[in-house]
Structure 1
Amino acid sequence: NLSEGDIPVEIWSLASLEYLNLAGNDFLSLPSGLSHLSKLDNLCVDGCRSLQSIPELPPNLGTLDAKYCTSLEKLSFPSNYKRLPVLYLPNCNSLAEIQGLENLNYVRIIHMESCSILANNLKDSFLKGQSELYKSSIYLPKKEIPDWFSYRRMGSSISFDMPLHMVDDQFLGMTLWVVYAAVEDRDEWFVPPSVAICDRTNRVDWAYKPTTTHIQVTREEHSFLIHIPKSYFGYPLKGGERMDAWINIEEPFEVKKCGIHLAFKPDITGGDQGQSSSVNTDGRDELMDIMHPKRGRDISVVETSCDLSKKDKFPKRLRMEPDQTKDLNTELDRLKK
């Protein structure tokens, strides 16, 4: 239950400090000396319900834990910030602005569940700004898929075509938008959605699992936005490939709808580089039948027949803990037996 005057001023002179836990205190604002902690990598202010602002984050901060800071209205990134931030901000209901966020090249993870004000203030340009090298995951309280997603469908599976005559070095990756909700409210947290993708044309399939923490069980509809960069595909794309995607999520969650956006470098315009209309896919179980990962990481790739006519059913849900991504292929192989 510390207030501003109770924090020792000497703490802001600890040039080598890497982790600072100020959770559960009653201060209204963090002192400006926080920005002097040049090596601070993790700042935790969870449950500081009176905290209203964080004037400026340290320049090398990697992770900010600010869950249940219900009075927090504003925080700010410094102009010289160069990291890929991880921001845990669920239930910061009053948060309206993150200064400098849209100036960042990329983000790694942002949890802003129940942060309706902040989510509504986010610009599409920020959500579209993705990388060909780095993955990102954003959780936010939105019920609709933006119009700039060319492929949209109700349910948890979708098919789409890569543009014809695609130039591979212009392709940045694909962005997936998932709207989900639980059938009931629970005081529990479950693993986030994972994605299975099949390239029917090249007979390659792979699984993508975000490296993030659990998501809260709530009936309120939320969205999960992930960007899968080109570097994670593991093989070149020539254009015209038919792709299937299926989203797997733990009970009691349900996927309401999903969408795909193919991201290209800004100088690509018109022609065959654009996206065609969405193609509905039935038989989500058949899509999971062709999963044959061979090496463990966030994505597993292997050549396969991509034969959706197989009748041996694959379980609809896979239990994969966030710290077990290295065992993804082992888990999938076990479930196939």
Structure 2
Amino acid sequence: MELDAVNCSALERLTIHSKRIPSLYVSGCNNLIEIEGMEGMGKRWVIVSEDRSNLSNNLKQSLVQALCKGEEYDIVIADGEMPELFSNRAEGSSLSFHVPPGSDGNKIQGLVAWVVCAIDGNISAYQRGEAVIRNKSNGVQLFKRSIMLFTMSTNSSNQCSWVNHISLAALPPNAMKAGEQLELSVEVKHTSFEVQKCGVHMIVKKPEVEYFDDS
């Protein structure tokens, strides 16, 4: 079972009630600003095939916010603009960034990675690649994940993005420390796809607030 929303021009919000949907495909829904209920989908594919001019920032923000809650589905978007939330970003297939001061491995719950690829020509294709995160300070590889890129010949932006939540919960507490430099590197082996830029948003655990009763 899969859920497709195609050419629903009046649709502004799409609500998912089932947890058994293996994939979600959205195309031609020009007024869509939010997808609700993605948090319960688990490990799934979400493909949003929209022209660049039609994909709203609100929709992209809602997709990223769902990932920030720890879900591990992959999102593929026919768009090359990442939200401002991704303050760590760089041109090319690799990005170096630092663990924030005052935090360590057990405070960083995960990362949301955004990878933009340029597409050479109007093609319809699935393409796989690989994303790796390593600690540049000590050379240790922290994470490796297979990625998927998808584009249709109708994609006028000639760009596509892969967005994914990378959990760091399984890493040992000393896997990374405040101030250390991490690196995201992406490889796509296809002559029609070129990694154009990368971005990372770090999900940091909020400090617990203690309350004292003086009575």
| Interval containing the TM-score (normalised by the shorter chain) | 0.7 to 0.9
Q: Does 1:110 align with 2:46?
A: yes
Match of 2:211 in 1: none
Match of 2:194 in 1: 254
Aligned residues: 196
Q: Does 1:151 align with 2:88?
A: yes
Q: Does 1:203 align with 2:139?
A: yes
Letter of the 1:250 partner, please give it: K
Match of 1:89 in 2: 25
CA contact (8 A) 1:131 1:229 kept: no
Structure 2 counterparts to residues 64-213 of structure 1, below 5 A:
64=3, 66=4, 69-71=6-8, 73-74=10-11, 75-78=14-17, 81=18, 83=19, 85-89=21-25, 92-94=27-29, 96-97=31-32, 101-105=35-39, 108-114=44-50, 117=54, 119-122=56-59, 124-130=61-67, 134-187=71-124, 189-205=125-141, 206-210=143-147
Tell me by how many angstroms 1:138 deviates.
1.4
Match of 1:16 in 2: none
CA contact (8 A) 2:16 2:36 kept: no
Cα RMSD of the aligned pairs, angstroms, is 3.1
Tell me by how many angstroms 1:266 deviates.
4.5
Cα distance in 1 between the residues matched to 2:47 and 2:198: 19
Letter of the 2:36 partner, please give it: E
Letter of the 1:228 partner, please give it: I
Q: Compared with structure 1, are the counterparts of its residues 136 and 209 closer, same or farther at alpha carbon in structure 2 (3 Å cutoff)? A: same
| Bigger Rg over Cα | 1
Letter of the 1:105 partner, please give it: E
Tell me by how many angstroms 1:267 deviates.
4.8
Cα distance in 2 between the residues matched to 1:76 and 1:103: 6
Q: Compared with structure 1, are the counterparts of its residues 115 and 183 closer, same or farther at alpha carbon in structure 2 (3 Å cutoff)? A: closer
Q: Compared with structure 1, are the counterparts of its residues 203 and 84 closer, same or farther at alpha carbon in structure 2 (3 Å cutoff)? A: farther
Q: Compared with structure 1, are the counterparts of its residues 119 and 139 closer, same or farther at alpha carbon in structure 2 (3 Å cutoff)? A: farther
Task: Name the one with the larger helix percent.
Answer: 1
CA contact (8 A) 1:85 1:109 kept: no
Match of 1:216 among 133, 139, 151: 151
1:94 is paired with a residue whose SS is coil
Match of 1:239 in 2: 178
Q: Kindly, what percent of the aligned residue pairs are identical?
A: 23
Q: Compared with structure 1, are the counterparts of its residues 118 and 84 closer, same or farther at alpha carbon in structure 2 (3 Å cutoff)? A: farther
Q: Compared with structure 1, are the counterparts of its residues 196 and 146 closer, same or farther at alpha carbon in structure 2 (3 Å cutoff)? A: same
Structure 1 length normalisation: TM-score?
A: 0.49
Q: Compared with structure 1, are the counterparts of its residues 159 and 85 closer, same or farther at alpha carbon in structure 2 (3 Å cutoff)? A: farther
Structure 1 residue runs of 5 or longer lacking an equivalent are: 1-41, 44-63, 269-337
Q: Compared with structure 1, are the counterparts of its residues 172 and 201 closer, same or farther at alpha carbon in structure 2 (3 Å cutoff)? A: same
2:128 is paired with a residue whose SS is coil
Task: Name the one with the larger strand percent.
Answer: 2
